[in-house]
């Protein structure tokens, strides 16, 4: 199995992007990635487009993006793993390059959610829970699903609504320092606490926004990566797992079981001790679609012990300077969550973190040279954990 | 790069399948493939679901199918490459197993098109042409697109409507001998010629039906394949390419350029002389969504020289006993075209052909041990060509 490195990344401005078409938005990220890698379109041997669609009128996004970006006649496919689609695209590109079938592949994430009115978007996302039973019969939408997790977690570990708001405050703090973020302004716990309930105990500021955005990652095999760049970022391991979509069948509500499985797989491949990953990992992005999801992620990834995430957020342990900086690009909460692009957005951000290339006031200190992306689809239906490394992995 | 073999295949009955849910239909194919491979669900390390959806109310098919089939918590993703989705799923599973990241992966194709009324299905497929320009402005649907190809081909090479009907007659002849086929009855040229026009010169019998169906293929790395079976079928090569969706930008209308590119890639990997592939390939399935598409495929794949496909169909050269048997399972035309499952359906069929396990009156003679699947998405937006082999490829 050969090593695979990231040799170029692109990241559009996230937000409400009515100023561009889907293809133009994708091109912002594709062009940046090609430029960073010093490549032209003809050098890309295969491209994978992650996009969930549904709100867009274009049924074949890979086709129109490939054509607009002059990637035709290269092979392509669209992939969907709900909100983890972007990480799935990177995983499949990783397999493809590792196999030796191609030397260079590109994962392109894109979503234009604001093409549909908000109620339609909320309904469509709701169908991506458990469509047949919980959506149709109980009207559960995503804030409702994560509210169930929040009440379970609060009841079990004594977390409060203020604790949840502190996640939002941290992520807005870093979003305010990231020019690519949808929300570039700080908030206070008071502001979050006084925002209206969406699904008790989750309030408006506990929820990530509806976002348009694109991100791209170019992967290359070891020899090609060495030709192309002096600063490759290696893929050390990827874990992926699925979980039941039925909340009624879950063994626990204070954790996402698929995330635990995926994290273990990723740690094993990356040869990182799963009992103390914080010793190795310098910076992480986790899937904070709702504030409660970030607290569960600290524990599911083994960063904090069960029930300790509350103390971590109370004591600022996931700010830069704490135990491990998390979502210092603003996270889904403030940078935004353009569903199909979120995974590539995390991986592009972490590549730049490991290379110490982000804005100074949100750059994590790089010591051990590992970074981790935790990307969830549905309410834990899909989980992908990707570990990046500054040093070449030993296979 | 390690060799990868098919160790199990499953193929549901194709047709109007209102008797089963999407998950039940997928399970028919999954169970058959597991049984053939002698495997249980826990042995499958990752599963890829090919499905275009759109007509179905279920937005996350991989999730519900994984859960129903007890494949949870294994990693998964859904892929879409329009009507070539199934071949794309097999290609990505091939990469994954070849990389060594997993030893066993499964590609599951599924489509339940009859969940929506026919006019909605036809409109949705039409959007998968060139949505923005040709669909919106000219109202082009798929019979219209392929009618443009038919008139171009007829004008250039002197093909007649009767010649097109002969493709339908052949594929119905073999569909009548395949218990899995949607249409299990023979037709005559007269019956085809007297059917109503859908888009001149294409008549009802020139068009494939709207189909529900599922198919599955299990892939394993070389060592694992040898453990599991005495009769592995090897993947010798896969080519994939994309093409413009704009008919107005095509260089030719009597060929699908992406198919030519994909075929060359597949022949190169399989070490088959592209100037005379018929010398090597014992049996092929080609993408006959409309009868004209089968004639173009003979030439795009290099089976026949440009303009010669007309003589081939007039002289029964693609029946068993001719130069090369094509679509002897009934093809898309008579076996049916459940979009997301068509690729796995072709590859399952060809695996069984190479193993001489299909019904006797439609079994191709196996001499050189190669088989080829040609699977197109859109009007040549996507093209995948997969070559299977009875002997282990030399790498």
Query: Which one of A11, A149, A337, A374 is the catalytic residue?
Result: A337
Q: If residue A281 lies in a helix (H) or strand (E), which one and from where to where?
A: strand A281-285
Q: Determine the distance in angstroms separating the CA of A60 from the nearest CA of chain B, rounded to an integer.
A: 6
Q: Which uninterrupted H or E stretch holds A144?
A: helix A142-157
Kindly determine whether residue B241 and residue A74, on different chains, have CB atoms separated by under 8 Å.
Answer: yes
Put simply, the chain A residues between 248 and 277 with a CB less than 8 A from any chain B CB are 257-258, 261-262
d(CA A177, nearest CA chain B) in Å: 34
Contact residues, chain A, for B66 at CB < 8 Å? 242
**pLDDT tens figures, A129-160:** 777 677 777 778 899 999 999 999 999 999 99
Q: Within a 10 A sphere around the Cβ of A60, how many other Cβ atoms? A: 27
* pLDDT given at position A126: 81
Distance from CA of A10 to the nearest CA of B (A): 23
Least confident of A18-32, A49-63, A223-237, B285-299: A49-63
User: Which residue in chain B is spatially nearest to A381 when comparing CA positions?
Assistant: B63
Q: Does B293 touch chain A (CB under 8 A)?
A: no
> Chunked in runs of 10, what are the mean pLDDT values of chain B (395 residues)?
96 97 97 98 98 83 95 98 98 98 98 88 79 73 93 98 98 98 98 97 97 98 97 98 90 96 98 97 98 98 98 98 98 98 98 98 98 96 98 93
Whether complex ipTM tops 0.95: yes
Nearest CB neighbour to B72, from listed A124, A239, A244: A244
Mutating which of A1, A59, A86, A128 best tests the B interface, going by the most B Cβ atoms within 10 A?
Answer: A59
Which one of A71, A238, A378 has the shortest CB-CB distance to B60? A378
Residue B252's Cβ-count burial label (10 Å; 0-12, 13-18, 19+) is: middle
Distance between the two ends of chain A, CA-based, in angstroms? 8
Tell me the shortest Cα–Cα distance from A85 to chain B, in angstroms.
8
User: What pLDDT does residue B35 have?
Assistant: 98
Q: At B181, list the tokens.
A: 């086929």
Interchain CB distance below 8 Å, A242 and B79: no
Q: Does A120 touch chain B (CB under 8 A)?
A: no
Beta-strand runs (E) in A63-187 = 75-80, 104-112
Q: Which helix (H) or strand (E) holds A282?
A: strand A281-285
Tally A–B CB contacts below 8 A: 179
- Mutation pick from A86, A99, A122, A244 vs chain B, by most beta carbons of B within 10 Å, is A99
Give buried/exposed letters for B260-276 (b at 16+ CB in 10 A, else e): bbbbbbbbebbebeeee
Contact B60 A128 (CB under 8 A): yes
| Contact residues on chain A for B384, CB-CB shorter than 8 A | 75
Q: A52 to chain B: which residues are within 8 Å by CB?
A: 59
CA atoms of A115 and B349, how far apart (whole Å): 41
Helix (H) or strand (E) holding A225: helix A222-228
Cα distances from B327 to residues B230, B282, B314, B324, in angstroms, run 27, 12, 16, 10
Upstream peptide bond of A202 is cis (omega within 30 degrees of 0): no
Task: Output the pLDDT for position B197.
Answer: 98
From chain B, the residues in CB contact with A54 under 8 A are: 59
For residue A141, the number of C-alpha atoms closer than 13 Å in the C-beta half-sphere is: 14
Q: Does B246 touch chain A (CB under 8 A)?
A: yes
CB-CB: which of A80, A88, A99 is closest to B95?
Answer: A99
Distance from CA of A73 to the nearest CA of B (A): 4
pLDDT band of A224, cuts 50, 70, 90: very high
- Considering only residues 34 to 93 of chain B, which have any Cβ-Cβ distance to chain A shorter than 8 Å? 46, 52, 54, 57-60, 62-64, 66-67, 71-82, 85, 88, 91-92
Average pLDDT over residues A387-391: 98
Which residue in the set A71, A238, A382 is minimally distant from B76, CB to CB? A382
pLDDT of residue A209: 96
The Cα–Cα gap between B95 and A60 comes to 23
Give the confidence band of A117 by pLDDT, cuts at 50, 70, 90: confident
Which of B80, B84, B85 should one mutate to test binding to chain A, selecting the residue with the greatest count of A CBs within 10 A? B80
Predicted confidence at residue A248, as pLDDT, reads 84
CB atoms A100 and B131 under 8 Å: no
Cα of A2 vs its chain's centroid, Å: 25
- Asked if B98 reaches chain A (Cβ–Cβ under 8 Å), the answer is yes
* Contact (CB<8Å) B72/A262: no
CB contact under 8 A, B1 and A99: yes
Residue A333 · residue A292 · CB < 8 Å: no
Task: Test A58 with B262 for CB contact under 8 angstroms.
Answer: no
B48-83: buried (b, 16+ CB within 10 Å) or exposed (e) per residue?
bbbbbbbbbebbbbbbbbbbbbebbbbbbbbbbbbb
SS (H, E, C) chain B: CCCEEEEEEEECCCECCCCCCHHHHHHHHHHHHHHHHCCCHHHCCEEEEECCCCCCCCCCHHHHHHHHCCCCCEEEEEEEECECHHHHHHHHHHHHHHHCCCCEEEEEEEEEHHHCCHHHHHHHHHHCCCHHHHHHHHCCCHHHHHHHHHHHHHHHHCCCHHHHHHHHHHHHHHHCCCCCCCCCCCCCHHHHHCCCEEECCEEHHHECCCCEEEEEEEEEEHHHHHHHCCCCEEEEEEEEEECCCCHHHCCCCCCCHHHHHHHHHHHHHHCCCCCCHHHCEEEEECCCCEHHHHHHHHHHCCCCCCCCHHHHHHCCCCCCCCCCCECCCCHHHHCCCCHHHHHHHHHHHHHHHHCCCCCHHHCCCCCCCEEEEEEEECCCCEEEEEEEECCCCCC
CB A101 within 8 A of CB A56: no
Chain B residues within 8 A of A243 when measuring between CB atoms? 72-73
* Average pLDDT value for residue range A341-349: 98
Q: If DSSP codes are grouped into helix, strand and coil, which group holds residue A11?
A: strand
* B64, B95, B100: residue with CB nearest A101: B95
Model confidence at A263: pLDDT above 80: yes
Spell out which residues of chain A touch residue B82, defining contact as CB-CB under 8 Å: 60, 63
| Chain B residues in contact with A246 (beta carbon < 8 A) | 67
Interface touch A81/B95, C-beta < 8 Å: no
* Confidence at A206, pLDDT banded by 50, 70, 90: very high
pLDDT of residue A134: 76
Domains of chain A and any CATH numbers:
4-116+210-228 (3.40.47.10)
Does the pTM surpass 0.80? The reply is yes
Q: Is residue A247 pLDDT above 90, yes or no?
A: no
Distance of CA A306 to the CA centre of its chain: 22
pLDDT digit string (tens) for A275-331? 999 999 999 999 999 999 999 999 999 999 999 999 999 999 999 999 999 999 999
CB A254 within 8 A of CB A149: yes
What span, in angstroms and rounded, lies between the C-alpha atoms of A277 and A370?
10
pLDDT of residue A133: 72
């Amino acid at each position: 199995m050969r090593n695979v490195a990231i040799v170029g990344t692109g990241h559009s401005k996230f937000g409400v992007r009515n100023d561009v078409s889907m293809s133009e938005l994708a091109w912002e990220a594709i062009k940046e990635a090609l430029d960073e890698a010093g490549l032209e379109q003809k050098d890309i041997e295969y491209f994978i487009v992650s996009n969930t669609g549904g709100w867009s009128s274009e049924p074949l996004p890979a086709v129109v993006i490939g054509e607009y970006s002059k990637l035709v006649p290269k092979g392509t496919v669209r992939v969907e793993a709900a909100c983890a689609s972007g990480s799935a695209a990177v995983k499949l590109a990783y397999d493809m390059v590792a196999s030796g079938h191609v030397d260079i592949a590109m994962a392109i994430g894109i979503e234009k959610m604001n093409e549909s009115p908000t109620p339609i978007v909320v309904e469509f996302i709701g169908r991506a829970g458990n469509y047949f039973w919980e959506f149709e019969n109980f009207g559960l939408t995503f804030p409702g699903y994560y509210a169930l997790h929040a009440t379970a977690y609060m009841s079990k570990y004594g977390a409060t609504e203020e604790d949840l708001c502190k996640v939002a405050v941290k992520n807005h703090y870093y979003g305010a320092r990231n020019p690519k973020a949808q929300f570039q302004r700080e908030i206070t716990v008071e502001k979050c606490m006084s925002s209206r309930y969406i699904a008790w105990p989750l309030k408006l500021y506990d929820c990530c926004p509806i976002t348009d955005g694109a991100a791209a990652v170019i992967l290359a095999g070891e020899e090609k990566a060495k030709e192309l760049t002096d600063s490759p970022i290696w893929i050390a391991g990827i874990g992926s797992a699925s979980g039941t979509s039925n909340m009624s069948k879950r063994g626990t509500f204070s954790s996402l079981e698929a995330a635990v499985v995926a994290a273990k797989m990723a740690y094993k491949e990356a040869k990182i001790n799963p009992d103390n990953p914080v010793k190795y990992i310098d910076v992480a992005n986790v899937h904070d679609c709702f504030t409660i999801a970030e607290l569960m992620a600290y524990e599911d990834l083994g960063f904090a012990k069960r029930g300790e995430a509350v103390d971590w957020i109370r004591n600022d342990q996931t700010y830069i300077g704490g135990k491990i900086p998390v979502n210092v690009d603003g996270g889904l909460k403030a940078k935004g969550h353009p569903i199909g692009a979120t995974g590539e957005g995390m991986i592009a951000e972490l590549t730049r973190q490991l290379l110490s290339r982000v804005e100074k006031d949100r750059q994590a200190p790089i010591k051990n040279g590992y970074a981790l992306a935790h990307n969830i689809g549905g309410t834990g239906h899909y989980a992908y954990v990707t570990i990046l490394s500054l040093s070449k992995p030993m296979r």
